[in-house]
Amino acid sequence: MDLGPVESFGFFVPELILGVAVIALIVADLVVRRKDLLGMAALATVAVSLIAVVATLPDKGDAYLFNRMIVHDQFSLFFKIVFSLATFATVWMSLDSREVQRVSQGEYYALLLASTLGMYFMATATNLLMAYLALEFVSLTSYVLTGTIRHNRRSGEASLKYLIYGGVASGTMIYGMSWIFGLTGSMDYAGINTALAAGQEDSLALFVAVVLTLAGFGYKIAAVPFHMWAPDVYTGAPIPITAFLSVGSKAAGFALLLRFFFPALSKLGDGGQWQVIGGVEWPQIILVLSVVSMTVGNLAALQQDNIKRLLAYSSVAHAGYMLMGLVVLSDEGLRSVLFYIMVYYLMNIGAFAIVMLVANSTGREDFASFRGLAWRGGAVPAVAMAIFLFSLAGIPPLAGFVGKFYLFAAIIRSEFYALALIGALNSVVSLYYYARIVRTMFLDQPQGDEGVVSLDWSTGGLVAALTVGTVVFGVYWIPVINLADRSVRFFLG
Amino acid sequence: MDNILTLMIFIPVFGAAVILCLPRGNDNLVRWTAVAATVPPLLMAIWLYFNFDRSVPGFQFLQRAQWIPGFNIQYIVGVDGVSITMVLLTALLSFICIFASWGIEKAVKGYFALFLLLDAGMMGVFVALDFFLFFVFWEVMLLPMYFLIGIWGGPRREYAAIKFFLYTLFGSALMLISILALFFNTTDPATGQHTFDMLVMMNQDNHSEWLRTGVIFGQSVPLVIWMALFIGFAIKIPAFPFHTWLPDAHVEAPTAISVILAGVLLKMGTYGILRINFAMLPEATATLAFWCLAAVGVVNIVYGALCAMAQTDLKKLVAYSSVSHMGYVMLGMASFTQQGINGAVLQMFNHGTVTAMLFLLVGVVYDRAHHRNINGFGGLATVMPVYTGMVAVAFFAALGLPGLSAFISEALVLLGSWQQNPGLTMIAALAVILSAGYMLWALQRIWLGPLNEKYSDIEEINRRELFTLIPLAALVIFLGVYPTAVLDLMGASLNNLNSVVAKFL
């Protein structure tokens, strides 16, 4: 289906809910006295929007909306679910975060919801221009959210660095997109695909265009060599925002990247196997990015003393793992990426929730603030943190292992043994730094100056939900893999 | 009793959950709950012993269930002659180690909960017959082990714990890739799909052409996969040169955990080689066994013995003696004779009981003297006669005195190995002298000679400690006289397994 502006609104309810809520929050900020209600309202909005997304999950047919600007398909629904869940957890964390309590509530939550709205567009865009606008929308709101703690040098510095890197990356990307438009005469993904399939393009020019465009995607998913912003931004931003960027933003980057490389630059063949068209072997580029990202990310993480910074490098490494799933050009690979994103959401948000819990009581985020956590009243958060970290390292029976298992299975089926070996050895390296945090929490004794960490009901509820998810999906993951399975379906017109 | 093996795995898990829910402060309740969670598996193991059909070479007490049908992952458990001995050993040592852990005072709930999880993981490894399930259990043990060494261990516990963890995980990474490679190249004839079912994987007719004759990284595929799996298992055994985690982990771990490490965990390495490398890749096994198993095994025997001789820390001496004794297992496996392979598995069982005794005995003296320096004692026999009697049984068993269990298995190994690798067997046989050397020398320095006055009022071994030692000592003596009690369990399966490999020699 190819719907015009008016008919499209039927598929546009979740976006409308968020859009209206953004405006409502800004207005309410002017009139409402009790600012804590704004956060609750944002939480409710995200929940409603999530329900609206899930309600459209039963197949009602895929469609291009707004004259082929965006698309409604199973793939986009999956990502909308991930973004809603990520924002939901972020808002929940923000309600408990001491850092966020000091910032202007209306602005903060309005920006957060606006950013989520932008992510929805990143997952649905089927037009280069729309993709660029969506990415910029998310970036701009993220810059502000990063610098949201006023009069804090770290936060401001992070915001500025993010802005500069983001500006360069998106500039490079739109330059690349202009080449693609020049080569194919189309900004619509389906149009690009048709033009490439005809095979008239100069493949060197197309190669340049793809590499330039990749800079924008690479920056959003924080893959090496476009990752430089991540450690500083993750360290400087308020913790809920760091969690949001590490999961939501990364997932949005993947949504954009997957839709660009698969429906636009490849052709679906038999048995869910894709073929590259246009003569650019982009899977080779992705393969290099993947290997470099996980290796650099893991090696850099070994040396970090700030937990947020460590998790930033770990998130770079995880971008590398996920990229492995693209290299094999199969629906099975894509499915494993989607599965991994969902699992990554659980464990990474969980880890940041514990960091926030510790930072709330100690005001610090370094290793010393975690020292002996298990022995000074924080046994439950320490156990939860250990579960999240071991899951990130890929130890069974936790969900992170299952995610890695599917990734490895996909690449081994296509006989990329060397890549699998590099990926597996990287997990071993990563265990060392994750275990360093565990060691500090359990094996080291507190020295008395760390402050008491107490688990309140609110954060406890979030942590409990994420922990249960991480453990249960490590043992029985059929619902998640089924969701990922049905979501590997792009609307190709 | 179809689900007896499942119960043996999950009763300890249930016990761990119960322990976590118990109120804080009542440590004895926690300990007795742990006992209650290890008694049923022990009783079931005894029941298995009497109801196991010794004439069947295949798997018994099989239980199957779908787990993740989308990926053909099943829950399959079962025992055959190779694994039943290990199941018995695990059930026995887990029960004994709960009592050996009685003195733990720090975070008692955490300790026993983790211990029970470890117990479940070990049991799972030995009965799992789905390769995915096997891998999950293999890895599940790592987490409790890391914490048990890291929190309740000795002074260098943090280093030892992470070293153990990283070494094993490195091996697991190779194993995971091999598992997937096997999966995608095995087709279940019944369904026409790939499968993790080990029973299907063990039939080479189900393997793809690539798995049989392909080339990868310039090498033959079966050899590469065999090596990748072997490294994973060799780290656990631990085979030279992957053994360096062992002295650290064994020395720093609390007594009961050392017992589990040496008594059960090391056997997973050799068990894995028999279950997976031998059964699934017999041709590669025949090609590589001489260098990877026999030669490395002899290096283990000699090198371990020499290292043991040089130690001044009693626990480290025992740790290196494990390296040495596990070498016999590898040597026996590589002989491809009935005596050799039966001797190897019997040695796995006997080493489990003997080394458990040794570590428990070291624990007894360490609890009293708070050091383990071999040269720091002297003449303890005069003040601790009962204890010294136990020490004598364990030490003589470890050095292979006829009439005690380890003699039979080592003799069988040498007997079998002689027919295949006479040169290596000669070296291994001569190393028995080294083994006697370090054992007797340590015995003399600590327990014999004039009494060191510092320890003139050292307390004699108590009843709880005796309770942990007596069953093991009884087994050591009984199996020294009547090894058939264990040998007849495994004969049918092992001879079958041996013939699978031997036809490629």
Spacing of C-alpha A335 from chain mean position: 16
A328: closest CA among A278, A279, A261?
A: A261
pLDDT of residue A8: 85
The answer to whether residue A50 scores a pLDDT higher than 80 is yes
> What phi and psi values does residue A73 have, to the nearest 5 degrees?
-145, 175
State pLDDT tens for residues A405-446.
999 999 999 989 999 999 999 999 999 999 999 999 998 888
Element (H or E) spanning B242, and its range? none
Residue B486 falls inside a structural domain: yes
Residue B390 falls inside a structural domain: yes
Residues of B in contact with A482 (CB under 8 A): 70
Region B467-479: mean pLDDT is 94
Burial of A333 (0-12, 13-18, 19+ CB in 10 A): buried
The answer to whether A409 contacts B216, with C-beta atoms less than 8 Å apart, is: no
Residue B314 falls inside a structural domain: yes
State pLDDT tens for residues B248-306.
999 999 999 999 999 999 999 999 999 999 999 999 999 999 999 999 999 999 999 99
State pLDDT tens for residues B316-360.
999 999 999 999 999 999 999 999 999 999 999 999 999 999 999
> Does residue B241 have a cis bond before it (omega within 30 degrees)?
yes
CA distance, residue A304 to nearest chain B CA (Å): 18
Residue B177 falls inside a structural domain: no
Q: How confident is the model at residue B232 (pLDDT cuts 50, 70, 90)?
A: very high
Residues of B in contact with A321 (CB under 8 A): none
Number of domains composing chain B: 1
Residue B161 falls inside a structural domain: no
The answer to whether residue A389 scores a pLDDT higher than 90 is yes
Long-range CB pairs of B489-492 (<8 Å, 24+ gap) are: B489/B49, B489/B52, B489/B54, B489/B81, B489/B84, B489/B85, B490/B81, B490/B82, B490/B84, B490/B85, B490/B342, B490/B345, B490/B346, B491/B54, B491/B81, B491/B342, B492/B54, B492/B55, B492/B56, B492/B57, B492/B81
B455: closest CA among B392, B391, B388?
A: B388
For A59-63, A252-256, A261-265, which range has the lowest pLDDT when averaged over its residues?
Answer: A59-63
Measured CA to CA, the distance from residue B504 to residue B131 in angstroms comes to: 24
> What phi and psi values does residue A120 have, to the nearest 5 degrees?
-55, -45
Residue B95 falls inside a structural domain: no
Does A339 contact chain B (CB < 8 Å)? Answer: no
Domain range holding B332? 293-505
Measured CA to CA, the distance from residue A148 to residue A145 in angstroms comes to: 5
Return the structure tokens found at B439: 């054992």
Residue B277 falls inside a structural domain: no
State pLDDT tens for residues B65-112.
999 988 999 999 999 999 999 999 999 999 999 999 998 888 899 999
Greatest pairwise CA separation for chain A in angstroms: 71
> What phi and psi values does residue B219 have, to the nearest 5 degrees?
-125, 165
Nearest CB among B147, B150, B166 relative to A428 is that of B166
pLDDT of residue B179: 95
State pLDDT tens for residues A129-173.
999 999 999 999 999 999 988 888 888 999 999 999 999 999 999
Helices and strands (DSSP H and E) totals, chain A:
22, 4
Q: How many CA atoms does the CB half-sphere of A187 hold within 13 Å?
A: 16
The answer to whether residue A493 scores a pLDDT higher than 80 is no
Q: How confident is the model at residue A375 (pLDDT cuts 50, 70, 90)?
A: confident
Amino acid at B146: Y
Q: Reduced to 3 states, what is the DSSP secondary structure of residue B269?
A: helix
Residue B350 falls inside a structural domain: yes
CA distance, residue B160 to nearest chain A CA (Å): 12
Neighbours of B2 (CB within 10 A): 9
Nearest CB among B70, B142, B157 relative to A395 is that of B142
Measured CA to CA, the distance from residue A214 to residue A208 in angstroms comes to: 10
The owner of tokens 């989607």 is A338
B61: left (phi over 0), alpha (psi -120 to 50) or beta: left
Which of B158, B169, B196 best probes binding to A when mutated, by most A CB atoms within 10 angstroms?
Answer: B169
Which residues, listed in sequence order, are joined to residue B219 by a DSSP beta bridge? B216
The answer to whether B173 contacts A425, with C-beta atoms less than 8 Å apart, is: yes
CA distance, residue A392 to nearest chain B CA (Å): 14
Residue by residue, what is the 3-state secondary structure of B353-418? HHHHHHHHHHHHHHHHHCCCEHHHCCCHHHHCHHHHHHHHHHHHHHCCCCCCHHHHHHHHHHHHHH
Question: Between β-strands A266-268 and A274-276, what pairing exists: parallel, antiparallel or unpaired?
Answer: antiparallel
Nearest CB among A396, A435, A443 relative to B139 is that of A396
Nearest CB among A396, A409, A427 relative to B136 is that of A396
> What phi and psi values does residue B188 have, to the nearest 5 degrees?
-75, 115
How many contacts does A have with B, using Cβ atoms within 8 A? 79
Contact A241, A109 (CB under 8 A): no
Residues of B in contact with A302 (CB under 8 A): none
